[in-house]
Every structure is written in C-alpha cells, then in structure tokens.
Amino acid sequence: MSELAKEGLKLLIPYYYKSEEDLLNEAFRIVIRNNPGIRIELALELYKSKKASLAKSAEIAGLTTIEFKEILADRGIKREIEGDEITEIDDKIKEVFG
C-alpha cells in the first residue's frame, strides 16, 4: 500500500468509520458491486468450497440459478446435488411401502 493510501486511511477512519475493518468491509462491498466478473468468481469459489449453496452462489453472482448452472457447466465444474443420501431415500421408501 502506498504511503499516500496509508495516510488517507489514518485521516478517513476517525471521521467516517468506526474502525479500519468497517472501511475495508465497505471497500470490499464496492469492489464486488461494481465488478460483475469478480462477483461471479467469488460465487464460484464459495460454491466449489461448499461454503454457499447453488441458490446462494447464484444470488451472490447476481444471476439466476439457471444462468449460474450454465457457468458451472461451461467451466466444467460439477454440480453438487443437494438432498438426502440414497440410503436415506431407500429407508423412507421401505417405511412407506414396507
């Protein structure tokens, strides 16, 4: 970080922010909001690391779930199917049908 940026932070924080963390959080939100490509990359990384669901990742990316699925397919990223394990499904079927 340049000396000018460091000095600017020292001057801005006491007047406009509660803390350096608040300033950094706002800066992050601005970068994400104004850069759709970065927003999509963030959403992809959150999805791949299982920190966000498909729907939440699409929301973060600013896309519909269908559009987000298309990006996953274009990038060769396998979709995680959310739901019960097959054994749980089998158990439920046995409960219902005996």
- Rounded distance, CA 11 to CA 37, Å? 31
Per residue in 1-20, pLDDT (tens digit) is 899 998 998 999 999 999 99
Residue 82, pLDDT score: 63
User: Is residue 65 pLDDT above 80, yes or no?
Assistant: yes
The alpha carbon of 24 is separated from its chain's Cα centroid by a whole number of angstroms, namely 18
pLDDT band at residue 96 under the 50/70/90 scheme: confident
Q: What is the mean pLDDT of the segment spanning 63-70? A: 98
Record the pTM: 0.70
Per residue in 33-47, pLDDT (tens digit) is 999 999 999 999 999
The token pair that represents 4 in the structure block: 């000018």
Are 69 and 79 a contacting pair, CB within 8 Å?
Answer: yes
Are 54 and 61 a contacting pair, CB within 8 Å?
Answer: no
pLDDT band at residue 80 under the 50/70/90 scheme: confident
If you average pLDDT over every residue of the chain, what do you get?
A: 91
